[in-house]
Structures are given as C-alpha cells and as structure tokens.
Amino acid sequence: MRTQAGLHIDPGALEAGPGERGLEIVVPYTEWALAGAVLQGAAVLAAGAAILVATCLMVGTAAAQTGTPSDTQTATAPAAAPAAPAPPSAYHQVGMDFSFLFDGYVDANFNNPSSGWNSLRNFDMRSDTLHFNMGKITIDRAPGPVGFHLDVGFGEIFSVIHAADQAAKGLKYIEQAYVDFKPKSWKGVEVDVGEFVSAAGAEVIDVNQNWNYSRSLLFAWAVPYYHFGIRTSFPVGAHFTGGVQLVNGWNNVYASNQGKLIGLNGAYAWKKATWTNVWYGGPERDKNSPGWRNLFDSVVQVNPNDNLSLYLNFDYGRNKNVGPDTAQWTGIAGAARRAVGKKGAITGRVELFDDVNGFSTGLAQTVKEFTLTGEYKFSGWLLSRLEFRDDWSSQPFFEKGQGNTSKNQPTVLLGMVAYFGPKK
C-alpha cells in the first residue's frame, strides 16, 4: 500500500506473485541503476530545455503581438476587411501543448505534533510550516495517429507517489510518460504504453483538477497512484467508454518478481451525470506466494447545473496475505461543490474509511473526515484554497504534542496553485 513518514507499509504487498508474463521486465539491477542515472539527467535536461524553449516562444509571441505596426498596417482598412485571426497560443508550439504547475501550502495542526507530520495525509503531510509541494512541466502531443504525454518535475509529491517503487531513482521525477496510438482507422480506439495514473478514484494527483486541496482518505489509502504497462480505451455506442489494462502492479514501474494485474474500466455518460467503475485484480506479491489483490472502485458524478457539482465514491479492496489471512478495506466519500460568482467556490467533503485489518494504515481502525474548502481565483493562472479539515479515528491514532495521541486531528491550510498552459 502507500506509505508516508512514520506510517505502515506491508512488505508482502509490494512483492510479486504468480501471474501473467505479458509485460514482465527482467533487467539486471546494475543496468537499471545506469538507466536511472541516465533518466535522471535526461529528465532534468528535458525539463530545462522545455522551459527554455517555451519561454523563448512565449516572449517571441508576445513581441509579435505587441510590435509596432508598419505604415501599411496603420492605414485605414476597408470596412469589408475581415478581422485578423487570433494569434496562436504561446503554450502550443510545433504541434505540442506545454503547461506548468506549481503548488505550495502553509498548514497548522491544532494537535501540535512534535514530529511535524499530519497523520494519514499523503500530500499535505507537513504541519505548522510553509511547504513547496510540486513543480511540474507537462508536454502533450495528441495522437494523430501517434502522440505522447510527459509529466516531469520535482517536489515532495513525486517522492510520495514513488515511495514503494523499486525502479531506478531517476524515475521519481516522472509522474506520467507514455506513448499513445489512435489512428483514424481504429474508430476511436486508443492504446497507451508506458507509465500512467490509475483509473481508480474520484481525485487525481494534480491539485488544480480537484475540488479540495487535501486529498481524501480513499485517494490516499484505498487506491493506487499509477501503473506501468498497457491500457486501452474504446467507445461503445454514443454514451459508454470501456477500457482494458495489463500492468505491473500498484505504484510500480519495475517489478522483477511480481505477477501482472488486469484492469477493467467502464464509464457511462448522460447529459448531466457520469458513472465510472474500475476493477484491478492480480497477484501483488512474490510469485511463490498465492493470492490476489482485488480492488473495486465506483464514482458517480452529477452536474445539475453550471454552478453545482456532486460526486459519490465507493471503494472495496481485498488482499490475500501470506498465510491464511485476508485483509480488507472499504470506504465511501461524498463531496459537493458550489460556484460563487465567476472566481469563487465552496466545497464540502465527508467520508468514512474502514481499515478492517490495519493493512493500509498499520492499525485496525475506522476513520472519518470532514473537509470544508473555500476557493478563489485571483486570475486565470493563480488559484488559492483555504481549507479546514478534521479527521476522527476509532482509535487514539493521531499524534498530539510530545508523546501523546488523540482520536481526532483538526487542521487548517492555505494552498496556492499556479498554472500556466493552454485554456481547456
């Protein structure tokens, strides 16, 4: 399962088991270490080069837009002359979209934990401090018929999502890196190969695409972050989209001893609602240990009008442990977002996560949380979120002061998010 400082990780769950060999990678560790050094250098160089190129292109575009017109251009145009076409976006160049995301927050934990950590949080882990979370560049070329997608950056989020990955160290700078194929003759079918985010969950890694700043308990402890392998998507009629995946496992790029996981997903879209279901199943352990890990995730999102959105998320997981025992976890979360004018929004979220055997959090407990988030957009590129959150546990799990514990953990947070990219 996922880890964070001071919390539990099940070593058996990170090993592999018997299963399919379709995507198995067998490479000596020394070669992966060399590949890691190369990938790390390449990631840094690629990010630097992309930022330099994008900056030059943006400056050039701005100069072209604000340059002094010639005498011919300043002459009175005929009344029937068509309007000049809009200049191309500075973020779309040579057939690729460039975007940049920066994310930071300041947080106060009313329990004043001496360790400086917020328990059960994955991306807003630091308490009573100002912290930079993520800096990322995205380069995307739509498949036509072949494209690619690359998310590369730095910050604590990248370390968290790759904490359990045994791949080369340089890969921690990559959130997604895949090639996609979508020829017209395939009639809407798309195939992606590489590292991509999981289809499970109502939330995502990038904070600007979520309604709250902090991620839910279900996103942090019930579902994976990403996979490495092959995924497909295909339309079935006018309203349904299906998909099949064959991947290495949960949060693994390189899994030398694991069997492969199968993923099935489907989404049915109405005019104002979408229902998505995802199943992942397969051995998630050493090949000599029997047993599968299964996860079912279901999300219903409803948009009654332009100002109101709601979602309901349910998860059920089951993992066959080494020996006769089986671990289970279940959870349900609901959220409602109401727009306030053109620049503001208020979102409330409630959820319950039952870690029946302590497989995810390290302690058998039932955890609930309530989050209230106020959002304000200062401009098209700068977003702020002020958030109050309280977590409750059936056990005295949360750190309080020096050496004490508590059954609840109230926090308040101010997050700032800057996004530069094409308007979508």
**Residue 183 neighbours by CB under 8 Å, 6+ apart:** 145
Nearest to 113 by CA among 136, 101, 129: 129
**Residue 404: its pLDDT value, please?**
96
153 half-sphere exposure, CB direction, 13 A CA radius: 24
**Residue 23: its pLDDT value, please?**
32
Going from N- to C-terminal start, the domains of the chain cover 11-62+91-420
Amino acid identity of residue 59, one-letter, is V
What is the tens place of the pLDDT at every residue in 126-167? 999 899 999 999 999 999 899 999 999 999 999 999 998 888
Sequential pLDDT tens for the chain (424 residues): 444 333 333 333 333 333 333 333 333 333 333 333 433 444 434 444 444 444 444 444 444 444 444 443 334 445 555 666 667 788 998 999 999 999 999 999 999 999 999 999 999 999 998 999 999 999 999 998 999 999 999 999 999 999 988 888 888 899 999 999 999 999 999 999 999 999 999 999 999 999 999 999 999 999 999 999 999 999 999 999 999 999 998 998 987 666 789 999 999 999 999 999 999 999 877 666 668 899 999 999 999 999 999 999 999 999 987 667 899 999 999 999 999 999 999 999 999 999 999 999 999 999 999 999 999 999 999 999 999 999 999 999 999 999 999 999 999 999 999 999 998 6
**Residue 83: its pLDDT value, please?**
64
Instruction: Tell how strand 408-420 and strand 382-393 pair up.
Output: antiparallel
**Residue 257: its pLDDT value, please?**
64
Instruction: Please state the pTM of the whole predicted model.
Output: 0.79
**Residue 110: its pLDDT value, please?**
97
Q: Which residues pair with 312 in a beta bridge?
A: 300, 334
**Residue 80 neighbours by CB under 8 Å, 6+ apart:** none
What topology does CATH give the domain 11-62+91-420? Answer: Porin (2.40.160)
What is the rounded radius of gyration, in angstroms, for the C-alpha atoms of the chain?
23
Nearest to 173 by CA among 142, 199, 141, 195: 195
The average confidence (pLDDT) of the chain is 83
**Residue 85: its pLDDT value, please?**
65
Amino acid identity of residue 259, one-letter, is G
Residue pair 297/223 in contact (Cβ under 8 Å)? The answer is: yes
**Residue 119 neighbours by CB under 8 Å, 6+ apart:** 6, 7, 113, 391, 397, 398, 399, 409
Nearest to 13 by CA among 356, 291, 315, 357: 291
Query: 157-163, long-range: CB within 8 Å, 24+ apart, which pairs?
Result: 157/103, 157/123, 157/133, 157/205, 158/134, 160/2, 160/4, 160/122, 160/123, 160/125, 161/205, 161/225, 161/226, 161/251, 162/251, 163/2, 163/3, 163/4, 163/251
Q: Please give the share of the chain, as a percent, with pLDDT higher than 70.
A: 77
**Residue 277: its pLDDT value, please?**
98
**Cα distance from N-terminal residue to C-terminal residue, the chain:** 34
**Residue 424: its pLDDT value, please?**
66
Q: Give the integer Cα–Cα distance in Å for 294 and 315.
A: 11
**Residue 177: its pLDDT value, please?**
97
**Residue 105: its pLDDT value, please?**
97
Residue pair 300/311 in contact (Cβ under 8 Å)? The answer is: yes
